[in-house]
Every structure is written in C-alpha cells, then in structure tokens.
C-alpha cells in the first residue's frame, strides 16, 4: 500500500515543514536526508564555552508571519538582533557612522546621497510592480531580465558611492555579484521580501530577530516530533516513477516506494539526481541555470563585545573585502562577544581557495579595520564554507541568471507526474529565506495531500 | 596494475580523440559511454531512402586543421556545403536576397547597413583582443563579463535591423538568446573560432564543408579502431580517487579502476556525477554556471531540392521563428532535397513543449515562408530535440553566463587530482566546435600521458 505514502527528500526547513503538514493530514511520510543532521542550510554551531551560534541562516523579521507562528507553535522564542549603537559604513575609503534605526542614511556627500535616494526609490518602484507568482509578466520583463543587475545599477545610479552601496547590498542579499544575476530577479526578490529597505534592515527588517538557542532549534523540534520518519545519512540518488507509484533509490541502494515525492533540494542539487523517465527538458534546463550563491560565514569570539563600549553596534558595511558585512552575533546575555562576518560572492570564491590560516587572518584584519585593535586576538575562530558543502553547494540560495525567469519561469513549481518541487527558491513570498522555505514546504504538502488516495 | 590504465568518460569526439591518443602512447584505455552509440553531440540519422543526415554537429571549415587532418587520417572525405544561389534574409518583415559569397551583405537601407558594418567591426576588434587561454585577462574583462550580450548589442548597434541581425547571429551560434550569455563570452567565442564572419559564414567559414557519409563517421571510425576498449550503454555515476588510483562506478554498479580519468562530459553533466572526495567548490560552482544551449534540429525531405531552381541556396536567416536559420543539407548527389532548420534558444524552449504534430507543422510553415509552396508537403520529417537528450541536455554547447569567466575561469581546465577535464567547452581554440572537442581531447590526453607510471 503506497496510497498515502509520501517521500520527502531533504530535511531542511522546507522538507520538515512539508512532512509536518502531511503527517497532520494523515499521510504516511518518510523524510530522507543526506546529512547526518537536519536543518539543511541552517546549522547549529557552538563556541568553546557552549554558546550556540548559527553557521547558516539565522534571522527572522516582520511579515515573516509563518516563521513567527511556527516558532511559537514549537515553544521557541525570539530575541532582537543586537542593534544598539552606530553602524559603520566604509565606501571609497571613507568611514562614517550611522544611527542604526531604520531609514537612517549614511553620511555621504549631497550628490551621492541624492543619487542613492533616487536609486533606492527607482528600485523599489520597479520592484513593487513585479508579480510574485509570475515575474515574467512584469512590465518590461524581457528588457529587465535581459540585463544584469550590474547593468541596472550603472544605468540608474550616477555616483561611484551610490553604485558601491548597491553592489554591497547585492552581495549581502544574494551572496553573488551584481554581474551574476538578472535585474528582473533582483527586483522580484526584493518585492518577494517586501522591499529593499526591509531586506537590508535590522529593526523592522529581515535581520530583526534571532531565535533563542539558534535557528537550528526549529528543524530539531520538527524532526523530534516526526521521530523515526526522518532518516539521516540517507542521500538520494535516483527517482523513478510509473503509473502506480514512485520509487526513490538511495546511494546505499535501498529502494523506498511511495505515492508521491517532494524534492526540497536546492535547484542545482535537485537537477543532479537521476530520474526515470528523464525529466522534461524545460525542468532540466531550468536547474542548469539556477546557481547557488557563494558565501563563507565566519565568527571571531571575544571575552566581551568590546565594540559596544565604543558606541558601535557591531554592524559594518564596506566596499572593501574580503569581509564587507558584519554583525554582532553575541548571545542575549552579551557574553561572549561574537563578531560575525560574511565573505561573499567573488570574495568568498577567492578566499575559499586559500588556507584556513590565511582566511582566519584576513577575517581578523577586517574586524580590526572596522572595530579597532581590540579585534586582533579572538579567543576562537569558526567558519562554514557553504560552497564546499556537498549537500548544499552554495548559500544563501539560488539566483536567476539573465534570461531565465522569462524563458523558464513556469517550470519552477510545475510538478512532473508524482514529483513535486519545494524549497526556499520555490516560494513567491520571501523567496530564498527561511520563511520562503516553510511556506513552500507547506504549500506543496497541501497540494500533495489532495492527490493522495 | 593500474599504472597506465586511463579511463575516459564519454565517447564523443573529445573522449574518442583522447583515447586514440592515449592508445598510441601505449596506455591501457577504457572508454565508458552512457549511450548505446558513440558520437555524443554528433549523431547519424538516415532518411527513408537511406540518405545519411546529421542530427547533431556536422560542419568543418578553414583553420579547423585538426579536423581536416583527422578526417584524412581516418580515410574519410569532405564535400562543400551547398552554397550556390542566393541566401534569404528576413528582418523586420522585409525579405531580401543576398549573394552567398563571403563578405556579401544583405540589401538593407543605408542606415542599417552602416550600423551593421560598424557593429561588426567593433565586435571583431574587441573580440580579437580577448586572450583565448585566459579570457578574464582581457582589457575591460570585468566590464564586458558583467553585461549580457544583449546589453552589448543595444549599446553598440543603433538600428532595429542591425540589432536584429546580431540577435539572429547569436541564436544561430550559441542556441541561446543574447540575454543569456556574457558579452565577454560572445567575444571570446568568436575569437576562438577566428571572428564573427567566420562563425556565420559558409565559404571560408565554419559551415564550409561536410563529411561524406555524415560527421558520425569520424567517431565510428575511431571507435572501430579502439575496438572493445569502448563500452557502450555504460553510464557513469560516481568517481572516487585516493593516493593510488581512481575508481569509476557505473550505474550498473560495476567499479573500474584506473590510474587517471578524463571526464569529457558537457559541463552541466560533469557536475552531476558523484565525486569522492567531493570536488572543490570552485569547480562545482563553475559547472553550476555553464548551461547547455537550447536547440531542436529538424529536417524536411523532398524529392528534389526545388529551391535551387528558384536561384536559392536553401539558406535563410530571419528574425521571425520558430525556425530562423535554414540550410540545404542535401547529399552530394542532390537527391533527395533536404531542408534543415534549427529551432533555437527561446524558440526551441517553447516548441519543445508542443506536440510533434504541432512542431512539424510549424517547421513546414517556416519552410513555406522561406521557399514557397513547394515546401508544403515533405515526404518525411525528422528532428532531434537535444534538450531532451538525457546524456547531452542541450546543444550545441555550454555558454558562460555573466560574471563566470572572471570569477571561475581558471577552474575550467584545472585537474582535480587524478581527474582531468576535456570536451569542446574546454578548448581555447574553436571552443564549442568539433575541432575544439578533438583538440581538447588530444591535449588532455597528452597531459595525462606524462602522468602515467
């Protein structure tokens, strides 16, 4: 009997949310996870003194309603990202401090300021017009999809500083260079997460809150309730389907039969499985064109968050790498002091080739540049190179390269027989975020429920 | 003993050329081919009356010296592509006829003509400056790689007709929209194959000659000499390596051990194999970013090449699809009459989703539009959708999306331990062509020879 047996591939937030929804609906569910842990692109780390730190996705913010509900349902709690003090902005070699409330703007010369304000307004106006479920139907979709975001920036911003600001924002949001992605995708993505200000903001933005104990608690709590339905260290290799069932083969050679399967892997990994019959060309060619971003997330640990005494909130944004964006990721207690930084896009790609020792030193040098000599001697250094992770192959998420939304968009969520697609990249709302992953998992599960015998 | 045992994955032109070179050097070679035939992206077809037609790559032209040598070495012969009569050019709804000699220009209005001439000159000047082995070192490489070819076209051509001409050329050369690829890649690619005029030309161009009996004869002749070293219907699933050897596992579960392995699969397929240890991130993220082009190659067969009597050479180039480019692919005898057409880029993607009957009718409608009512009733219709081919997943070749040459270029040919990469996409010279495949196979084989024990 495979009538109500659903196989979910991937125990990240999308897969676990889908499984939870299916179980609630009475389905018989098996979740197959390649890693020896759940959480996917969220992962729990821990400092030497036992403080939890997130090695992957970590923040929630306003309008991510499903995440806040889920956190509450699971008995978890949030706390605000540390945001007291001033943010450092380094553009063109000049450092300025900026109040950290939303809507604050860096102290730039009047020309740059006007340029940036106009560029942001233009971006948000165009972004708001992109239909979230069908971005390819936006006005001028072909035109916007036919250019890189870099081309858009050059056309719509006139000052070096204004352009630099947009480029840093792009790297921070996509872990990709503005040269890498379609302008239409950048506009879609911002609309999907409300607007550009929300994506880059802390208070009332996408970085507003953290989860007590770490974001991995969400996946762990769902997995605990699913119990033995979740099978770790079980990478999937192949999916076959016929008129009566779907058969999933693991790398260990085990075959698991079901009625439907939900694939929640990032697009580039979903495209690597073997399928019998082979997937239709539009689906295959789509996943050839959705590369994962490039990021190394890293931590320096200090006895105290010393920067706070200097009136700094631990946040920096700079056009000089390899770390261009930092955050104070200390626990609610404030001890130890935890500085977090990202090596993103070309910085991440370049530094992934270097030794751990070199990378550690480069990171510390950046922290010293931002926060002074107090950053020179961390008690501990932690990092996660998401590009090197065999079962992610990049973070935060996939981006649409130019031409892809308009040529292949409809294939993104289109089921192939008994195979259904979910994941952060599939969500019209909060695409690429934990919120998008959960929404996509639940939406797809609801659809699959209607197909069960 | 695995000291001189080399495993070659893929029996296309690159893999077979590599194997041939290795055998000549005394190595013990096994070629593993997923399909039940050799040739990869070249494939032999046949009409009802037994006339050979190429379902994949077919032409050779000047400066493809290795191909002409190889054809002679194998005892094969070439014959000129039919090029007598006039070429049809349809741009903006207007049809003109053009002499088919090289350097001929379509009869356009003077503004369009001047624009096109200037655009071609600009393109060829910039193209000639791109270093073939290291395109990322070109002047303004970051700028050129940061924009789509569509953006380049809009910046460098002013007239609707001039732009349309470049777009049709792009589709014909890359089976991709100009929106899909990096401007730097377009420039590199043209330089790799001499220049733009050569890539689109017949006489003295890349479409100058055909191989008697079909291009598949080359692969078949090499494979025949390799004998039992070539194993068909043996798709590879996984490559493991350690200090002493490399182990290749097939989908049938067989493990073949060797000293070195040459992977000749198109980038997107090479990236899908399992590797132990996992590939370095720069290689994996590169193959996430090299999608295959989109093309359906199709044939309509007639008792005679009736268009010749109308003074036409069977070649059309149009900005109206779904077939925008056609050729007279009749055999040297001239009977039967064979019209060949491509549905490329977005046309191919759209029409791949339609029924065979619809596609056949759309193709015939295009042939009638170009060559008159005589094309309305072919005796036969043949097609190959290369996007749907599980072991190619697109043709003609891969293209570099924006930002990829400058961020990942050095990873293209960089060996990973005992794993070496070859294929048309790896060649600095005639990248993407049969010539590039053979050159890459032989170059890589020569390199591997130096490593054998």
> Which residues, in sequence order, are CB contacts of A367 under 8 Å at separation 6+?
A300, A323, A326, A339, A341, A375, A378
A294/B285 touch (CB, cutoff 8 Å), yes or no: yes
Residues of A in contact with B403 (CB under 8 A): 148, 176-177, 179-180
Q: Which residue of B has its CA nearest to A353?
A: B282
pLDDT at A58 over 80: yes
CB contacts < 8 A (A, B)? 145
B288/A285 touch (CB, cutoff 8 Å), yes or no: no
3-state DSSP assignment of residue A246: strand
Residues of B in contact with A251 (CB under 8 A): 274
**Of A387, A392, A391, A419, nearest in space to A238 by CA:** A419
If pLDDT is split at 50, 70 and 90, which confidence band does A202 have? very high
Q: Edge-to-edge, what's the strand order for the sheet holding B5-9?
A: B230-231, B28-32, B5-9, B260-263, B419-421
B36 touches chain A (CB under 8 A): no
Give the pLDDT confidence of B204-262 residue by residue, as tens digits.
999 999 999 999 999 999 999 999 999 999 999 999 999 999 999 999 999 999 999 99
Give the C-alpha separation, B341 to B395, whole Å. 14
A402 touches chain B (CB under 8 A): yes
Q: How far is CA A72 from CA A66, A216, A218, A360, in A?
A: 10, 15, 10, 37
B354 touches chain A (CB under 8 A): no
Q: How far is CA B343 from CA A145, A287, B283, B378, in A?
A: 21, 21, 31, 18
A146/B401 touch (CB, cutoff 8 Å), yes or no: no
Residues of A in contact with B150 (CB under 8 A): 146-147, 402
Q: Which candidate from A142, A268, A274 shows the least CB-CB separation from B288? A: A268
Tokens 């056009």 found at: A319
Tokens 């025949």 found at: B224
Mean of pLDDT values over B321-332: 97
3-state DSSP assignment of residue A383: strand
- Supply the pLDDT for residue A104: 63
Of residues A453 and A133, which shows the higher confidence score? Answer: A133
A280/B346 touch (CB, cutoff 8 Å), yes or no: no
B387/A281 touch (CB, cutoff 8 Å), yes or no: yes
Give the pLDDT confidence of B358-390 residue by residue, as tens digits.
999 999 999 999 999 999 999 999 999 999 999
Cα-atom radius of gyration of chain B, to the nearest Å? 22
Average pLDDT, rounded, for chain A: 96
The shortest C-alpha distance from A363 to chain B (Å) reads 20
**Residue of A174, A177, A179, A352 to mutate, interface with B, max B Cβ within 10 Å:** A179
- Supply the pLDDT for residue A93: 87
3-state DSSP assignment of residue B119: helix
DSSP codes joined into one string, B232-271: -S--EEEEEE-SS-EEEEETTS-EEEESEEEE-S-HHHHT
B146/A251 touch (CB, cutoff 8 Å), yes or no: no
Tell me whether 0.90 is exceeded by the ipTM.
Answer: yes
pLDDT at A52 over 90: yes
A317 near A26, Cβ under 8 Å? no
Q: What is the DSSP letter of A180?
A: T
**Of A65, A79, A171, A176, nearest in space to A434 by CA:** A65
Q: How far is CA B19 from CA A76, A188, A318, B29, B240, in A?
A: 60, 48, 51, 6, 20
Q: Which of residues 150-179 of A touch B (CB under 8 A)?
A: 150-151, 176-179
Q: Which candidate from B390, B402, B408 shows the least CB-CB separation from A179? A: B402
Q: Which residue of A has its CA nearest to B155?
A: A151
B393/A280 touch (CB, cutoff 8 Å), yes or no: no
B251 touches chain A (CB under 8 A): yes
The shortest C-alpha distance from B394 to chain A (Å) reads 8
Give the C-alpha separation, A393 to A293, whole Å. 8
**Residue of A402, A405, A410, A414 to mutate, interface with B, max B Cβ within 10 Å:** A402
Tokens 């990236």 found at: B271
3-state DSSP assignment of residue B153: helix
- Supply the pLDDT for residue B105: 66
Residue B102 C-beta-side C-alpha neighbours within 13 Å: 15
Q: Which residue of A has its CA nearest to B273?
A: A272
Mean of pLDDT values over A154-162: 96
> Picking from A394-403, B8-17, B88-97, which range would have the lowest pLDDT averaged per residue?
B88-97
B147/A142 touch (CB, cutoff 8 Å), yes or no: no
If pLDDT is split at 50, 70 and 90, which confidence band does A4 have? confident
Give the pLDDT confidence of B47-82 residue by residue, as tens digits.
999 999 999 999 999 999 999 999 999 999 999 999
Q: Which residue of B has its CA nearest to A390?
A: B278
* Angle separating helix axes B65-73 and B434-449, nearest 10 degrees: 80
Residues of A in contact with B146 (CB under 8 A): 148, 150-151, 177-179
If pLDDT is split at 50, 70 and 90, which confidence band does A105 have? low
Q: Reply yes or no: is the peptide bond before residue A322 cis, omega within 30 of 0.
A: yes
> What's the predicted TM-score (pTM) here?
0.97
A280/B388 touch (CB, cutoff 8 Å), yes or no: yes
Residues of A in contact with B282 (CB under 8 A): 349, 352-353, 387
3-state DSSP assignment of residue A211: strand
Mean of pLDDT values over A348-376: 98
B434 near B424, Cβ under 8 Å? yes
B402/A402 touch (CB, cutoff 8 Å), yes or no: yes
B47 touches chain A (CB under 8 A): no
B291/A294 touch (CB, cutoff 8 Å), yes or no: no
A249 touches chain B (CB under 8 A): no
Mean of pLDDT values over A304-313: 97
Q: How far is CA B438 from CA A205, A238, B36, B90, in A?
A: 54, 32, 21, 35
A145/B179 touch (CB, cutoff 8 Å), yes or no: yes
B403 near B286, Cβ under 8 Å? no
Residues of A in contact with B346 (CB under 8 A): 407
If pLDDT is split at 50, 70 and 90, which confidence band does B173 have? very high
B153 CB neighbour count, 10 Å cutoff: 24
3-state DSSP assignment of residue B452: coil
Per-residue three-class SS string for B280-345: CHHHHHHHCCCCECCEEEEEEEECCCHHHHHCEEEEEEECCCCEEEEEECCCCCCCCEEEEEEEEH
Q: Which candidate from A285, A291, A403 shows the least CB-CB separation from B289? A: A291
If pLDDT is split at 50, 70 and 90, which confidence band does A102 have? low
- Supply the pLDDT for residue B103: 62
The shortest C-alpha distance from B130 to chain A (Å) reads 19
Residues of B in contact with A145 (CB under 8 A): 179
Query: What percentage of chain B has pLDDT greater than the value 70?
Result: 98
> Picking from A94-103, A216-225, A235-244, B29-38, which range would have the lowest pLDDT averaged per residue?
A94-103
Query: What percentage of chain B has pLDDT greater than the value 90?
Result: 95
Residues of B in contact with A178 (CB under 8 A): 146
**Of A400, A450, A421, A395, nearest in space to A54 by CA:** A395
Mean of pLDDT values over B281-306: 98
Q: Reply yes or no: is the peptide bond before residue B277 cis, omega within 30 of 0.
A: yes
3-state DSSP assignment of residue A332: coil
Residues of A in contact with B349 (CB under 8 A): 281-282, 285, 407-408
If pLDDT is split at 50, 70 and 90, which confidence band does A107 have? confident
Mean of pLDDT values over A308-322: 96
């Amino acid at each position: 009997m495979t009538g109500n047996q659903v196989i979910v591939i991937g125990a990240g937030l999308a897969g676990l949310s889908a499984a939870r929804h299916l179980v609630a609906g009475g389905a018989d569910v098996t979740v197959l996870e390649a890693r020896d842990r759940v959480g996917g692109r969220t992962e729990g780390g821990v400092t030497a003194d036992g403080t939890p730190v997130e090695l992957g996705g970590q923040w929630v913010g306003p309008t991510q309603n499903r995440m806040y509900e889920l956190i509450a349902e699971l008995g978890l709690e949030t706390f605000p990202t540390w945001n007291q003090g001033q943010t450092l902005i380094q553009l063109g070699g000049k450092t300025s401090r900026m109040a950290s409330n939303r809507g604050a703007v860096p102290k730039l010369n009047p020309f740059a300021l006007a340029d940036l304000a106009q560029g942001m307004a233009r971006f948000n106006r165009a972004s708001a017009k992109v239909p979230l479920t069908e971005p390819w139907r936006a006005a001028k979709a072909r035109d916007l999809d036919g250019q890189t975001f870099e081309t858009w920036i050059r056309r719509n911003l006139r000052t070096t500083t204004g352009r630099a600001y947009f480029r840093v924002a792009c790297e921070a949001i996509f872990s990709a260079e503005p040269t890498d992605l379609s302008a239409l995708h950048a506009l879609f993505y911002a609309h999907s997460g409300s607007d550009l200000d929300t994506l880059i903001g802390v208070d009332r933005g996408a970085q507003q809150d953290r989860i007590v104990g770490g974001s991995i608690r969400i996946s762990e709590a769902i997995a605990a309730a699913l119990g033995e339905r979740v099978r770790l260290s079980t990478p999937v290799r192949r999916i076959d389907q016929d008129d009566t069932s779907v058969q999933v083969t693991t790398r260990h050679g085990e075959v698991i039969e079901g009625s439907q399967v939900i694939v929640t892997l990032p697009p580039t990994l979903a495209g690597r499985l073997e399928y019998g019959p082979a997937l239709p060309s539009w689906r295959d060619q789509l996943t050839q064109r959705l590369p994962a971003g490039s990021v190394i997330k890293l931590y320096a640990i200090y006895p105290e968050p010393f920067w706070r005494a200097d009136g700094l909130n631990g946040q920096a944004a700079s056009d000089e790498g390899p770390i261009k964006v930092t955050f104070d990721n200390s626990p609610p207690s404030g001890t130890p002091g935890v500085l977090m930084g990202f090596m993103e896009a070309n910085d991440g790609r370049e530094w992934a080739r270097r030794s751990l020792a070199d990378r550690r030193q480069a990171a510390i040098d950046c922290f010293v540049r931002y926060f002074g000599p107090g950053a020179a001697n961390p008690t501990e250094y932690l990092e996660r190179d998401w590009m090197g992770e065999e079962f992610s192959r990049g973070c935060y998420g996939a981006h649409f390269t130019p031409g892809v939304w308009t040529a292949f968009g409809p294939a993104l969520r289109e089921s192939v027989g008994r195979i259904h697609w979910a994941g952060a990249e599939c969500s019209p709302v909060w695409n690429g975020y934990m919120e998008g992953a959960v929404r996509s998992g639940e939406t797809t599960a609801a659809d699959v429920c209607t197909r069960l015998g």
